[in-house]
A and B are shown apart, each in its own frame.
Chain A
Amino acid sequence: MEVNHVLIRLLTVERLRVFSDSVLLVAITISAYNLTLPSLINGKLSGIETQSFLDNVYGLISSFFVISYFWVLYTKILDHVREIDDIIVATSLVFFILVLLIPVFTLGQFQYRNLQSVLALALLQIINGFLYYYCGLIS
């Protein structure tokens, strides 16, 4: 019980905001990290590598907009948080983990282009949306 109080006292809204900034920044960086230029073979671009590069660029643009969008809305919620508790922290952590998965799932959708990858990304985004909604409700 005492440990719990100490943890809550240590974790302020400002710390949660800084943590969210860094997590979302990493999520965007992951997709930029995958960008490697296609190599030249006898003066011509490698077809497979060019396709992979374009998939990565589409994935980066798409996930960048969605993650920025979530970041703006999440920051807006934190502006109005009354007091921080275990539920807000736990929900936020799950939200961050799912946000980190967005670039991976987006890239998967562009590379595989099958029903499973489209469904996986769509369900991830919908769950993220509901978690955000829940964060807003409990704050």
Chain B
Amino acid sequence: MTEGGGELSTNDIRYMYSRLALIACIYLITIAIAFFVSIQIASIFPVAIVPSVVLLSKAFGSKKKRRENTSL
């Protein structure tokens, strides 16, 4: 028996795993930066990239919503 809000839809699953992949990808890029660019940049990179990703997703999300509204 499901204890929460029922079965997950494919969209929910895709949303959760894409959010999960985000942190792993950010830290994989950090390893690459640490090896090939600079340790200083690598230590700042994850702190700087998270707000950037959030802002970008907001920007693209609102753009997509606006396009959907105009098409309706």
Contacts and interface: CB of A to CB of B under 8 A. Distances in A.
Given A76-B16, A122-B31, A129 B24 contact: yes
A78 B5 CA distance: 10
Contacts of A78: 4
A122 B30 contact: yes
B-side interface size class: 20 to 34
A79 interface: yes
B8 A62 contact: no
A83 B39 contact: no
Given A113-B40, A115-B39, A119-B34, A65 B20 contact: no
Interface in B29-51: 30-31, 34-35, 39-40, 42-43, 46-47, 50
Contacts of A132: 20
A121 B19 CA distance: 19
Nearest to B46: A62
A118 B40 CA distance: 10
A116 B20 CA distance: 24
A114 B40 CA distance: 8
Nearest to B5: A79
A62 B4 CA distance: 30
Given A62-B46, A79-B5, A80-B8, A73 B20 contact: yes
Nearest to A72: B19
B3 A65 contact: no
20 contacts: A62-B46, A66-B46, A73-B19, A78-B4, A80-B3, A80-B5, A81-B3, A81-B4, A109-B43, A113-B39, A113-B40, A118-B42, A119-B34, A122-B31, A125-B23, A125-B27, A126-B24, A126-B27, A130-B24, A133-B17
Given A113-B43, A115-B34, 6 more contacts: A83-B1, A109-B43, A118-B30, A118-B34, A123-B31, A125-B24
